[in-house]
Chains A and B, each alone.
Chain A
Amino acid sequence: MSEIDIQEFVGGFIAEADQLVAAATAGLLELEMANDRGEARPKTVRDLFRALHTIKGLSGMMGIQPIVDIAHAFETVVRAADQRGGRIAPRAVELGLIAMRAVAERVRAVADRQPIAAPPEALLDELARVETLGETTSAPTPAIISSWDRKLSAGERQQIATALGERRSVYTLTFTPSDANSARGITIATVRADVGKLGEIVKVAPRAVPQTDDAPAGLVFELLVISDATTSALAEAVASTPDRVVPLAALEPPELATLPVDDEISPIGRSYVRVELDRLDDLQEQLSGLVVSRFRFEREVANLAATGADVRALREITDAQERQLRALRRGILRARMVRVAEVLEPLSLLVRSLVKPGIKEVRLALDVGDTELDKAVGDRLLPAIVHLVRNAIDHAIEPIVERERIGKPRAGQIVIKCRQGAGNRLVLSVADDGRGIDREQIARRSGRQTVDDSDLLDVLTTPGFSTRDHATETSGRGLGMDIVRRIAVRDLGGELKISTTPGAGTTFELEVPLTIAIIDVFSFECSKQAFVVPVAAIEEIFELSEHRRIEGPVADPGRLPISICERRGRTVPIIPLGMMLRLGETAGAHKALVVRRGGEPLAFAVDRMLGRHEVVVRPIEDILARVPGVAGATDLGDGRPTLLLDLVELGASITTWRAGYSS
């Protein structure tokens, strides 16, 4: 360009282009979600169209033809969608996202002063051929009696019809521009913004009027608005008076009555109260206090009984209290429950943003039904699931070319399922149909042979372990598999399992409690110190003296002496817990607690069992006290922390245990 210097405008161009691409992308994601729900979004489509058109014009002025071509190709598709009442075919949405990414890359190239690549032919081809949604809108658009009738497009009519169907109010607002208003900073632009905050603006139309004192410019603007705001608020927004706010009178054609009304959202049905999570947390805190209190009371009753007093009446009361507290707890927990589907909602958008278009294709399927879980659990679980999904996309799912070569479907699948597990638990699985995990590679990297899948998991979840030399673009160093394990197991008191088939795929299973507030535990004593373990983790408890015990072979005196016991036709290894925890002199171990690790039974010898309780377990947050095998701490009623042990995790460090090893 000769007389003006394009360079002057590059900065502004990049800023505007970035903004437009972001807006277009957001619009596309919204349309995708709307598609899932079978809804139309005429306004979003229109905004999308304009964004594309502006990108096209802007790039044209800057002389960047490749972006013009891409924008134009997609703009055509969107125009067709607008004419069909605001619905855009899923494949078109995907192409749009790919197109936006292509534009963004080229804008980046402008910023970095790199050459700008020609538009991808395949993309342009497909955009030209993509099928648009052919169906007409489901409900016939009602005749809206008003002067707006002639001015509205099909999409806009549908918008009004839907609003009226949902019993929302529709108004015509009139704004009169004038020098006086301009002097006060009130222009059609500001009015649009203000009204936009109060509702949805369907259309704005100018109308010429005779020049009078009321309308000194001979002009008024009429705004057609869907809003739940008061008429005075709306009037203020257009610098007018409430009597000039005109509700839209629409004929209710008989067809509208047959529009399916979703009972779930009808206000005349269920009533909802919004509760802040904090308030529920407070309630639970109170409840926990009650539980501890009742436990103490129970102990006093036991002490009293030991003196010979008749405590039957007292026992009845504490039993009743236990039932009542249980019911109360269930009630509060139900109030905190959220649907798993809701918790995992951000995942589909995430997958979208992580996949490099044209290189890999990934489909995420959520098969979680209506299962619910505690919001606090859900909040902690999400980062773990996000990491597993990222990992699958980064490492497991092969690029399109590779998949097609080996005969797999073009798009990689990640399926998240959930089901109720044993006890009060939820089992969430994240399965991909990608490469599977190569044991050979793992063995090489870690120097350990892995015999089975649970061994493999141990290796993968060793802190700092990675099958890549560098952090990949999406997985980064932020969250490793060790942290996934920590979230699932230590923080939530659950379990993490893996099963993988090289070439076919990998499945991770997270088993977590539905709630983390109160759990059922056994308490026991080991070398004069009390501990608790979740009842759910214990397979059985047996009396050691009643079984034949053989001292196992010990490699050297510095290691844990493991004995073997025969139980129900199986041999069970027995670990001296007091020794493992370095607790000092033990009075003699009498009981064995059996857990299952990787499918095999494993027993820990403890001094004596104390009881069974429902307790509040708190995670140990500070690193100083975070150690393997300790999953949290609780209060058994004496005001002192009692540690909650994770025996399965302890089991993992049996072979590496060394006597006299202090940190």
Chain B
Amino acid sequence: MTLHVAFRVGSGEYAVDARDVLHLETFTQATHVPGAPEFVAGLVQVRGKLVPVVDLRTRFGVTAGQRTLDNRVIVVKVGARVAGLLVDSARDIVQLDESTFEPPPELVGDQSAGFIKAVASSAQRLLLIVDVPRVIGEEVRHA
């Protein structure tokens, strides 16, 4: 059983391993970086560190919505990299049993396909487990 942070992007519910999560921050705005990939919302400052923020709506191909007070930046650590995931809301911490994880279904509809590594079910909910390294793009090309 491992702790996961559950969050919403569009109509989908997702989760990431809590061990990869450094902080949960509120989001007001990010400094746009000209020339960065489209899914990069920009840079924010978190505890003195410069953190690039990936807009998961853009990343998962969900239509852009209004920014609300519920928006959160999930600051994750992958190896030596620190990055932020901008999500619509992030409310729960859940315990998930990894032995019940299923591989992601073939058709998930939107472009979130490549970024999901498993599907978990917990208390009548289906949570899509996010492949964080892929989301923050290990291979990125610039303009």
Q: Do chains A and B touch in the complex (CB under 8 A)?
A: yes
Task: Determine how close the nearest CB of chain A comes to the CB of B33; give it in whole angstroms.
Answer: 5
- Please determine whether A621 and B50 come into contact, CB atoms closer than 8 angstroms: yes
Indicate if the CB atoms of A629 and B31 lie closer than 8 Å.
Answer: no
What are the interface flags for A344-357 relative to B under an 8 Å C-beta threshold, 1 for contact and 0 otherwise? 00000000000000
Q: Considering the chains assembled together, what is the distance between the CA atoms of A561 and B127 in angstroms?
A: 50
Q: Are B82 and A622 in contact (CB under 8 A)?
A: yes
Complex Cα–Cα for A626 and B82 (A): 14
Give the contacting residue for A627; candidates B33, B51, B81; CB below 8 A.
B33
- B residues near A625, Cβ cutoff 8 Å: 33, 36, 40, 42-43, 50, 52
| A640–B31 CB distance below 8 A | yes
Flag the segment in B92-100, B102-110, B133-141 that touches A. Answer: B133-141
Bound form: Cα–Cα A639–B49 in Å? 11
Q: Does B32 contact A (CB under 8 A)?
A: yes
Is the beta-carbon distance between B38 and A663 smaller than 8 angstroms?
yes
For chain A residues 602-649, which have a beta carbon within 8 Å of chain B?
A: 618, 620-630, 633, 635, 639-643
Question: Could you tell me if B37 and A663 are in contact, using CB atoms closer than 8 angstroms?
Answer: yes
Given contacts A635-B45, A641-B45, A643-B33, contact A663 B142 (CB under 8 A): yes
Q: Does B44 contact A (CB under 8 A)?
A: yes
Asked if B81 and A622 sit within 8 Å, CB to CB, the answer is yes
The verdict on B143 contacting chain A, using a C-beta distance below 8 Å, is yes
User: Bound state CA distance, A622 and B83, in angstroms?
Assistant: 8
Q: Which residues of B contact A618 (CB under 8 A)?
A: 50
Q: Separation in Å of the B56 CB from the closest CB of chain A?
A: 13
Give complex CA distance A208, B34 in Å: 84
User: Considering residues A620, A622, A629, A635, which has the most beta carbons from chain B within 10 angstroms of its beta carbon?
Assistant: A622
- What residues of B have a CB within 8 angstroms of the CB of A639 in the complex? 45
Q: A582 with B34: in contact, given A622-B52, A624-B52 (CB under 8 Å)?
A: yes
Shortest distance between the CB of A179 and any CB in chain B (Å): 57
Contact check, B50 vs A630: say whether CB atoms are below 8 A apart: no
Contact status A663-B35, CB under 8 Å = yes
What distance in Å separates the Cβ of B112 from its nearest Cβ neighbour in chain A? Answer: 18
Query: Who on chain A is nearest to B43 by CB?
Result: A641
Q: How many B residues are at the interface, by size bracket?
A: 20 to 34
The verdict on B29 contacting chain A, using a C-beta distance below 8 Å, is yes
Q: Which of B50, B137, B140, B142 contacts A620 (CB 8 A)?
A: B50
Question: Contacts A625-B40, A628-B35; is A640 near B45 (CB within 8 Å)?
Answer: yes
Q: Write out, one digit per residue, whether chain B residues 4-40 have a CB within 8 A of any chain A CB (1) or not (0).
A: 0000000000000000000000000101111111101
Known contacts: A624-B36, A640-B29, A641-B45. The answer to whether A661 contacts B143 by CB under 8 A is yes
Let me know if A663 and B52 touch, CB within 8 A.
no
Q: Does B129 contact A (CB under 8 A)?
A: no
A641 to B141, CA, bound (A): 23
Report whether B31 and A642 are in contact in the complex, using a CB–CB cutoff of 8 Å. Answer: yes
Which A residues touch B43, using CB under 8 A?
A: 620, 625, 633, 641, 643
Do B50 and A633 touch (CB < 8 A)?
yes
- Asked if B54 is at the interface (CB within 8 A of a chain A CB), the reply is yes
| Per-residue interface assignment for chain A, residues 314 to 328, with 1 indicating a CB less than 8 Å from any chain B CB and 0 otherwise | 000000000000000
The reply on A662 being an interface residue by CB < 8 A is yes
User: Given A618-B50, A663-B141, is A627 in contact with B45 using a C-beta cutoff of 8 Å?
Assistant: no
Q: Which residues of A contact B36 (CB under 8 A)?
A: 624-625, 627, 663
Name the B residues within 8 Å of A621 (CB-CB).
50, 81
Do A624 and B45 touch across chains, with their CB atoms under 8 A apart? no
Complex Cα distance A662/B35, Å?
7
- How far is A529 from B43 in the complex, measured between Cα atoms in Å? 13
Residues of A within 8 A of B142 (CB): 626-628, 663
Which partner residue on chain B sits nearest A662 by CB separation?
B38
Cα(A635)–Cα(B34), bound, Å: 18
**Which single residue of chain B is at the shortest CB-CB distance from A638?**
B45
User: In whole Å, how far is B124's beta carbon from the nearest beta carbon of chain A?
Assistant: 36
CB of A581 closer than 8 Å to a CB of B: yes
CB contacts (< 8 Å) of A550 on chain B: these are none
Contact, CB under 8 Å: A627 / B52: no
A109: CB under 8 A from chain B?
A: no
Could you tell me if A629 and B35 are in contact, using CB atoms closer than 8 angstroms? Answer: yes
Q: B32–A529 contact, CB under 8 A?
A: yes
Q: Which residues of A contact B34 (CB under 8 A)?
A: 581-583, 627, 629-630
- Chain A residue at minimal CB-CB distance from B139: A623
Instruction: Name the interface residues of B51-109: CB closer than 8 Å to any CB of A.
Output: 51-52, 54, 81-83
Which single residue of chain B is at the shortest CB-CB distance from A632?
A: B50
Contact between A627 and B143, CB atoms less than 8 A apart: yes
CB distance from B63 to the nearest CB of A (A): 18
Q: What distance in Å separates the Cβ of A524 from its nearest Cβ neighbour in chain B?
A: 15
Return the contact of A663 from the options B31, B44, B136, B143 (Cβ within 8 A): B143
**Which residue of chain B lies nearest to A639 when distances are taken between CB atoms in the complex?**
B45
CB distance from A377 to the nearest CB of B (A): 19
Minimum CB–CB distance for B18 against chain A, Å? 21
A624 with B140: CB separation less than 8 A: yes
Contact partner of A624 (CB less than 8 A), chosen from B32, B48, B136, B143, is B136
CB distance from B23 to the nearest CB of A (A): 15
Chain B residues positioned under 8 Å from A628 (CB to CB): 35, 142
Interchain CB contact under 8 A, A624 and B54: yes
**B37 proximity list for chain A (CB < 8 A):** 624, 663
CA distance A661 to B141 in the complex (A): 13
Which A residues lie within 8 Å of B31 (CB)? 529, 633, 640-643
Give CA–CA (A285, B52) in the complex, Å: 21
Output the least CB separation between A135 and chain B (Å).
53
Q: What's the nearest-Cβ distance from chain B to residue A619, in Å? A: 8
Taking each of B34, B37, B44, B45, which has the highest tally of chain A beta carbons within 10 Å of its own beta carbon? B34
Contacts of A633 in B (CB 8 A): 31, 43, 50
- Residues from chain B with Cβ under 8 Å of A641 in the complex: 31, 42-45, 50
Tell me, in angstroms, the Cα distance from A226 to B126 when the chains sit together.
Answer: 73
B45 closest partner in A (C-beta) = A641
Q: How far is the CA of A661 from the CA of B52 in the complex (A)?
A: 21
State how many angstroms separate the Cβ of B97 from the closest Cβ of chain A.
Answer: 33
A626 CB contacts on chain B under 8 angstroms: 142
Q: What residues of chain B lie closer than 8 Å to A623, measured between beta carbons?
A: 137, 140
A646 to B40, CA, bound (A): 20
Instruction: State the CA gap A130–B48 with chains docked (Å).
Output: 61
Across the interface, name the chain B residue whose C-beta is closest to A581: B34
Name the B residues within 8 Å of A529 (CB-CB): 31-32
Which A residue sits closest to B54, measured CB to CB? Answer: A624
Tell me the complex Cα distance, A641–B137, Å.
22
Cα distance, A629 to B33, chains bound together (Å) = 10
Shortest distance between the CB of A656 and any CB in chain B (Å): 10
Docked pose: A643 CA to B42 CA in angstroms: 11
| A624 lies within 8 A of B44 (CB) | no
Given A633-B50, A661-B143, output 9 extra A-B contacts at Cβ < 8 Å.
A529-B32, A620-B43, A624-B36, A624-B37, A641-B42, A641-B45, A641-B50, A663-B141, A663-B143
- The list of the 10 closest CB pairs from A to B, nearest first, reads A627-B35, A581-B34, A663-B143, A624-B52, A625-B52, A641-B43, A641-B31, A622-B52, A625-B33, A663-B37
Provide a sorted-by-A list of 21 A–B residue pairs whose CB atoms are within 8 angstroms.
A529-B32, A581-B35, A583-B34, A620-B33, A621-B81, A622-B52, A623-B137, A623-B140, A624-B36, A624-B37, A625-B33, A625-B36, A625-B50, A625-B52, A627-B143, A633-B43, A641-B50, A661-B143, A663-B36, A663-B38, A663-B142
